[in-house]
Amino acid sequence: MKPLQALSGDLNADRRADFAEMLLASGEPAQAAELLLGALDLAPQWAAGWFRLGEMQEAASLPDQAAQAWAMALKLDPADRLGAALKLQLIGHAPVAAAPPSAFVETLFDHYADSFEESLVQKLGYGLPDVLRQAIAKARPGRFRLALDLGCGTGLMGERLRPFVDRLEGYDISAAMLKKARAKNIYDRLSKADLQHFACDGVRVDLVVAADVFIYIGALEGIVAAAAASLAGKGVFAFSLELLAGGSDDFALQPSRRYAHSENYMRRVLAANGLAILSLDPTIIRLDRGAPVDGLAIVAERTGV
């Protein structure tokens, strides 16, 4: 995939963009947007510039103009590595999709890989791998022959699974995250995979784990069906959700551009795929701007072969 163009390629446009960022930081988003629009006159093919313009116009309470800027970013980068489509959905200019653009998720974590653990664990209070490890040990004590770590990232969950797993395989969409995981030497196999289209072609497994993964999927029918199909009889599926409180929606896109899911929806999808809940525990997923994000840690069992 072609790298994202962080700079416009035009020195004068980049200088104007820098000044626009200074204006935004000083609390003048409308003036910042006006200056960046002038920069884009010099570099009209700069997708990242149009995306940033939309963010500035959104901050200036100009949603219609922001929508036009994000639509231009999407036109210039149809793979949508910056997630312009998600921005359009959040301001009501497009229907909420069942999943985010795969290129957006891949780009996000490729850029995030070097600072991922420091940001998530030290700054955002992320303790979900320990929560899931404890839930698995309580629901199904003992060792597992073969486990899959879906959305393994840098290996935070894998580090907790390794002591009670004979063979551990990790799958992630980000090559940069997989490189970090590989350096830990805790996985028997690591593979690049888009979990929106995941399928396990190997032998049946005893444990599938997806820690903080469904926030980047949306509709869960496909991934839960794939996880259930990979499990041996009485196999265990452990995962987390960001909890969607109230309302009747199955899932919803949040301002963070992550998905939250309702408990009722999760229960229906599990039951439809022959998975019975062994434990369901409320938990705090992480902090978001200092506020706790409510979630669920779930352990389920495949009820048939």
Domain map (residue ranges) of the chain:
11-95, 114-302
For every residue of 42-63, DSSP letters joined together read H-TT-HHHHHHHHHHHHHTT-H
Nearby residues of 3 by Cβ (< 8 Å), 6 or more positions away: none
Instruction: Report the alpha-carbon distance of residue 56 to residue 67 in Å, rounded.
Output: 11
CATH of 11-95, one of 2.140.10.10, 1.25.40.10, 1.10.238.10, 2.90.10.10: 1.25.40.10
Kindly report the pTM of this predicted structure.
Answer: 0.92
Residue 265: CB atoms within 10 A of its CB come to 18
Nearby residues of 122 by Cβ (< 8 Å), 6 or more positions away: none
Which residues are 40's β-sheet partners? none
Instruction: Report the alpha-carbon distance of residue 259 to residue 92 in Å, rounded.
Output: 16
Are the folds of 11-95 and 114-302 the same? Answer: no
Residue 23: CB atoms within 10 A of its CB come to 18
Fold exhibited by the domain 114-302: Rossmann fold (3.40.50)
Map tokens 């210039």 to a residue: 76
Tell me the pLDDT of the chain (305 aa) as tens digits. Answer: 444 567 888 899 999 999 999 999 999 999 999 999 999 999 999 999 999 999 999 999 999 999 999 999 999 999 999 999 999 999 999 998 999 999 999 999 999 888 888 877 777 778 899 999 999 999 999 999 999 999 999 999 999 999 999 999 999 999 999 999 999 999 999 999 999 998 877 789 999 999 999 999 999 999 999 999 999 999 999 999 999 987 679 999 999 999 999 999 999 999 999 999 999 999 998 888 888 899 999 999 999 65
Instruction: Report the alpha-carbon distance of residue 78 to residue 159 in Å, rounded.
Output: 37
| 50's tokens | 């149009």
